[in-house]
Amino acid sequence: FPLGFHKEAKYMAESVECARDQGKFWELHKLLYANTGETLSTNLDQYAKKAGVRNVQRFKDCLKEGKYKNRVLNDLNEGMKLGIRGTPTFILGAYDPDTHTVHGELLSGAVSGEKFKQAIETYLPISRAEANLAQ
């Protein structure tokens, strides 16, 4: 989830999507996350190679043409509609795509295991009931 205060976040989100085209989403994601203190965009070719992206030119072309720019912006907008403002954020409950609402709760930031357990125990029976209705 690209945070607004991180000036390269949207571009980095686009870059991992371009790496996904070559099966290297998580590899590049890990490298970028591990090196967040650096100016990543200037070394992106090197990170892509290190992540195992085989066709770096195709990767660069993907970024240059903005192939995933709209996807990243749409994901960001959807997250904002749901109330996501930072990471990590977990949504527990049921999402209604028609109204862009979650019938449940958002757990954001450092959340205890006990809080997760309580939320899961609250919403799991509801999710099971909805799944049975859909059959």
Instruction: Give pLDDT, residue 65.
Output: 98
Domain boundary among 74, 90, 106: 74
Q: Is 60 left (phi over 0), alpha (psi -120 to 50) or beta?
A: alpha
122: phi then psi, degrees, rounded to nearest 5: -75, -45
- CA distances (Å), 134 to each of 92, 123, 126, 130, 131, in order? 19, 17, 13, 6, 5
- Do 24 and 70 sit in the same domain of this protein? yes
Instruction: Give pLDDT, residue 93.
Output: 82
- Do 69 and 86 sit in the same domain of this protein? no
In the chain, the number of structural domains is 2
Instruction: Give pLDDT, residue 71.
Output: 95
pTM for this prediction:
0.73
Walk along the chain (135 residues) and give the pLDDT tens digit of each residue: 666 667 788 899 999 999 999 999 999 999 998 887 666 777 899 999 999 999 999 999 999 999 999 999 999 998 888 888 888 899 888 777 788 777 788 898 889 999 999 988 888 876 666 656 555
Instruction: Give pLDDT, residue 4.
Output: 67
Instruction: Give pLDDT, residue 47.
Output: 94
| Domain region containing 24 | 9-74
Structure-derived torsion over alpha carbons of residues 47, 53, 57, 58, reported in degrees to the nearest 10: -130
Residue 48 within a domain? yes
